[in-house]
């Protein structure tokens, strides 16, 4: 057993307690009122990185939520790898569906329950503990490392693009490894070749300038909820296809080989449905579930509200109605162009009698790594050794905006190397992370760093 | 000046202070948490009726919010008139749009601002003060009077039907006068010949059993908001017609004479739009604004919600979506049948992949009084004398369920005789009632009671 591995075993309990501390910080990036907590999480990461022996550690201001940078660059001739992760979390509502408070982590049946446990604090912490283990035992790393941990992933990393572009030299590297990702299952590894991009559009509809009596005015002036459902319903056809003109134009079609690779990955509909708890699968005709979530774009209404939401009946003709929409994009869609197409569509179908206001959220490019990438190949071998099985070539339906940014500005591809699992209720109540994944992730990162270093 | 009129003048300040006390009771019938406040409002009315000299005053339990009954029956050979009103109010949200707290009444520029000021506490209190004035001065009334004030009008009077049916003798009368209604304008009277009925349907849609990550599952399982907007959008066509099969089948068409009477009532679109603050009128093609609100049914979405409503973006595929719908009905539509048609329609168009649950709210029949009704004729003369103008024959787009119940069980028509005005923000923030309307209403009720008594 390598020295770093022994160290990890010896300090297991301390690492878990540190992770619990990290999880106690309610670093919800979407809520402006929590900005100081995101900053506090950055400070926690900064201190923890320094304690691990990482050098030049500092918090980089971005104009929004911060980024934490650190490096260890004493392996001349060896490759330089940038490790990426994020310390911000999703919001927690609906709070009443949590079995324990989201920022009071609880360990139960080998799982840590807390918001951010899997996405991404638990996964982010893994490579940090491995680096500490190597530096505190043999005093060096087998390669050059940089860390970029950010606090705005869950809101689409709006300032990260600019930060990376402005610090190309600081972040320059041969390849990126992202701790924000997952494995196929507890006993079968997977390699994420692609992530989807994101475009967001917010609709606000104003009817009357205050809520009206639906008897006095009902039938005589436009109801903004009616206008909203008319607009929203026009976005899909009955079978789930997106009806925004030009939406699919730039979508890269799956090759026959890619389709065949996906078809090899086992899929049981009943098992797939257990986690979401939906009554059936539903989606774009002509594609199966993997294709729908990995290689096809979506347009989802994430939230809708207007009028009376209380108990009983309030016969009101409401003043306003609102919706939040986001699209998951695939190669080679452009998030700004997609947002423009959606906005254009909404204006085209907006009915008379109301005022329609549209705002755009931040966008992220979709991402695909070439299947013959060197780092990807090494990662595949590490996983094969650890799990005893060839990793499936999978993709993530989610979005890691940083991946596309690293490619654009650093000319470096990102290998997703994380240990979350799909049932861990990311973005939902009762998010959790397996302690077994934490340990396996540590071992995987240790071997990975050694092999990346060994290949010069 | 009659003795009762002098008494009203002398006690003006006291009456206004009493009304302010009445308005301080947050008797919101739609909120179960306010049930005790509705009861407190009933007790206030009971005591106030006794103080006025009304006899046999008592609170009648209904199984829901209570009814207050009282009578004065010492005018043998004279007609018996039942006076109706309600002491419950609408909810108050959105609270942040109120200039002063809704249950802390404020008098400003000759107006009392408070929830329930116009609808219906201010109007309900008027006949009570007139009866007190007569009983405390001449010691008798010119006719037999009964009072039925209820606490569940704003939720569609669910238990009133049963109560009236079970106490036909107690409530029996020659005609009803309803204090729940309004005048045309400050200087032109109106007589309300009809009120619309009501049907309510609540839709709950369940997709996944908890909120999902829209990246992981987006595109693969049905989004309940998508299902909801698809269902809701199918309820109207692009021009505002209701698309529920059979919805219009029983609607009584306006006669040429009725259309002509309505056409005589002045209508200025810009003036009409000032109160709602909408950008334009909008409604069923082939009908003008009066026809749309008085003689045509509606189907309004009163509230909608689902998914993330907070600041920023949360890329969630939500678990549930909800809507509250109510229909305003006109003669001769049947509320139960209309609810059935809407439910049938929803089930017909409900898409796969989600569970759709529908609940029905309480229903109320529409109401129309024959234009040659004797009480209506007397009311018209009183208004003509007071305003110096022939009252317009108008209708109300609102619903007073009691009207139809009195007709069914007591065989008595209801003359709407109230003094609210359309701009008084009923059901909206900053509801108010004019002190000038309060005084004019007192005079009108005094003369009305005298003339109804004089006609034997």
A290-340 per-position pLDDT tens digit: 999 999 999 999 999 999 999 888 899 999 999 999 999 999 999 999 999
Backbone angles phi, psi at B219, to 5 degrees: 105, -15
The pTM for the full model equals 0.81
Does this complex have an ipTM over 0.90? no
Q: What is the pLDDT of residues B121-133, one digit of tens each?
A: 999 999 999 999 9
- Enclosing H/E stretch for B344: helix B335-349
How far, in Å, CA of A304 to CA of B321, rounded? 8
- Break chain A into its structural domains and give their ranges: 3-195+366-454, 197-251+297-360
Chain A residues with CB under 8 Å of B292 CB are: 219-220
Among A228, A304, A315, the residue with its CB nearest the CB of B306 is A304
Position B456 scores a pLDDT of 54
Look up tokens 């009376």; give the residue.
Answer: A308
* Residue B181 binned pLDDT confidence (cut-offs 50, 70, 90): confident
Q: What is the pLDDT of residues A141-186, one digit of tens each?
A: 999 999 999 999 998 888 999 999 999 999 999 999 999 989 999 9
Structure tokens at B295: 């003689």
Q: What is the pLDDT of residues A425-442, one digit of tens each?
A: 888 999 999 999 999 999
Of A181, A39, A178, A25, residue with least CA distance to A118: A181
Of B202, B96, B94, residue with least CA distance to A319: B94
* Residue A456 binned pLDDT confidence (cut-offs 50, 70, 90): low
Position B399 scores a pLDDT of 86
Confidence check: pLDDT of B455 > 90: no
Q: Does A241 touch chain B (CB under 8 A)?
A: no
Look up tokens 């549930």; give the residue.
Answer: B320
Backbone angles phi, psi at A328, to 5 degrees: -95, 130
Position B333 scores a pLDDT of 97
Q: What is the pLDDT of residues A53-103, one digit of tens each?
A: 999 999 999 999 999 999 999 999 999 999 999 999 999 988 999 999 999
Structure tokens at B423: 């701009």
Q: Does B320 touch chain A (CB under 8 A)?
A: no
Tell me which residues of chain A, numbers 243 to 302, contact chain B at a CB-CB cutoff of 8 Å.
272-273, 276-284, 289, 292-293, 296-298, 300-302
Among B302, B311, B361, the residue with its CB nearest the CB of A316 is B302
Contact check, Cβ <8 Å, B361/A308: no
**Distance to chain A for B69, nearest Cα, Å:** 26
Average pLDDT, chain A: 96
For chains A and B, CB pairs below 8 A equal 359
Interacting residues of A284 by C-beta distance below 8 A, sequence separation 6+: A239, A240, A241, A292, A296, B219
Position B76 scores a pLDDT of 96
* Residue B363 binned pLDDT confidence (cut-offs 50, 70, 90): confident
Position B196 scores a pLDDT of 95
Contact check, Cβ <8 Å, B213/A91: no
Average pLDDT, chain B: 96
User: Under CATH, which architecture does the B3-195+366-454 domain have?
Assistant: 3-Layer(aba) Sandwich (3.40)
Contact check, Cβ <8 Å, A303/B306: yes
Structure tokens at A135: 């530096």
Q: What is the pLDDT of residues B256-282, one digit of tens each?
A: 999 999 999 999 999 999 989 999 999
Confidence check: pLDDT of A410 > 70: yes
Rg (CA), chain A: 23
Confidence check: pLDDT of B410 > 70: yes
Instruction: State the sign of the Cα–Cα–Cα–Cα dihedral B370, B375, B381, B382.
Output: negative
* Residue B422 binned pLDDT confidence (cut-offs 50, 70, 90): confident
CATH number for the domain whose boundaries are B197-251+297-360: 3.30.70.360
Backbone angles phi, psi at B373, to 5 degrees: -65, 135
Position B275 scores a pLDDT of 87
Q: Does B26 touch chain A (CB under 8 A)?
A: no
Q: What is the pLDDT of residues A243-290, one digit of tens each?
A: 999 999 999 999 999 999 999 999 999 999 998 999 999 999 999 999
Burial of A423 (0-12, 13-18, 19+ CB in 10 A): middle
Contact check, Cβ <8 Å, A397/B308: no
Q: Does A321 touch chain B (CB under 8 A)?
A: yes
* Residue A444 binned pLDDT confidence (cut-offs 50, 70, 90): very high
- Report how far apart, in Å, the C-alpha atoms of A140 and of each of A72, A378, A441, B95 are: 9, 21, 20, 62
Neighbours of B139 (CB within 10 A): 10
Q: What is the mean pLDDT of residues A111-130?
A: 98
Chain A residues with CB under 8 Å of B240 CB are: 219
Q: What is the mean pLDDT of residues A358-375?
A: 93
Interacting residues of B38 by C-beta distance below 8 A, sequence separation 6+: B27, B28, B29, B65, B66, B87, B88, B151, B152
- Percent of chain A at pLDDT > 70 equals 100
* Residue A454 binned pLDDT confidence (cut-offs 50, 70, 90): very high
How far, in Å, CA of B449 to CA of B441, rounded? 12
Please determine whether the domains at A3-195+366-454 and A197-251+297-360 fall in the same fold group of CATH.
Answer: no
Q: What 3 state SS string does B435-451 have?
A: HHHHHHHHHHHHHHHHH
């Amino acid at each position: 057993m390598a020295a770093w591995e022994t160290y990890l075993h010896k300090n297991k309990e301390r690492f878990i307690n540190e992770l619990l501390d990290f999880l106690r910080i309610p670093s919800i990036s979407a809520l402006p009122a929590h900005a100081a907590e995101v900053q506090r999480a950055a400070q926690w990461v900064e201190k923890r990185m320094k304690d691990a022996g990482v050098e030049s550690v500092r918090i980089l201001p971005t104009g929004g939520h911060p980024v934490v940078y650190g490096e260890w660059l004493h392996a001349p001739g060896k490759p330089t790898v940038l490790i990426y992760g994020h310390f911000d979390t999703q919001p927690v509502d609906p709070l009443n569906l949590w079995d324990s408070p989201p920022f009071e982590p609880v360990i139960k049946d080998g799982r840590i329950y807390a918001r951010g446990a899997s996405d991404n604090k638990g996964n982010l912490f893994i490579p940090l503990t491995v680096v500490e283990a190597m530096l505190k035992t043999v005093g060096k790393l087998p390669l050059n490392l940089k860390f970029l941990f950010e606090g705005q992933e869950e809101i689409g990393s709006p300032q990260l693009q600019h930060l990376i572009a402005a610090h190309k030299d600081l972040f320059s590297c041969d390849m990126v490894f992202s701790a924000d990702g997952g494995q196929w299952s507890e006993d079968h590894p997977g390699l994420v070749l692609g992530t989807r991009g994101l475009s967001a559009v917010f609709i606000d509809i104003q009817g009357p300038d205050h809520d009206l009596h639906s008897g006095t005015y009902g039938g005589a002036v436009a109801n903004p909820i009616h206008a909203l459902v008319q607009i929203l319903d026009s976005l899909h056809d009955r079978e789930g296809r997106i009806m925004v003109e030009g939406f699919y134009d730039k979508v890269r079609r799956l090759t026959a080989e890619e389709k065949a690779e996906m078809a090899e990955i086992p899929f049981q509909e009943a098992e797939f449905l257990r986690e979401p708890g939906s009554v059936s699968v539903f989606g774009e005709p002509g594609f199966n579930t993997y294709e729908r979530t990995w290689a096809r774009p979506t347009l989802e209404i994430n939230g809708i509200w207007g009028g009376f939401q209380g108990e009983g009946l309030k016969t009101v003709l409401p003043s306003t109605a609102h919706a939040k929409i986001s699209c998951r994009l695939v190669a080679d869609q452009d998030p700004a162009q997609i947002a423009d197409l959606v906005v254009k569509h909404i204006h085209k179908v907006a009915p008379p009698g109301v005022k329609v206001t549209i705002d755009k959220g931040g966008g992220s490019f979709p991402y695909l790594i070439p299947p013959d990438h060197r780092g990807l190949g090494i990662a595949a071998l590490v996983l094969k050794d650890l799990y005893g099985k060839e990793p499936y070539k999978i993709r993530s339906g989610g979005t890691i905006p940083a991946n596309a940014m690293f490619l654009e500005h650093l000319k470096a591809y990102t290998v997703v190397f994380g240990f979350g699992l799909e049932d861990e209720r990311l973005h939902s109540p009762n998010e959790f992370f397996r302690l077994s994944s934490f340990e396996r992730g540590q071992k995987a990162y240790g071997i990975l760093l050694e092999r990346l270093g060994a290949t010069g």
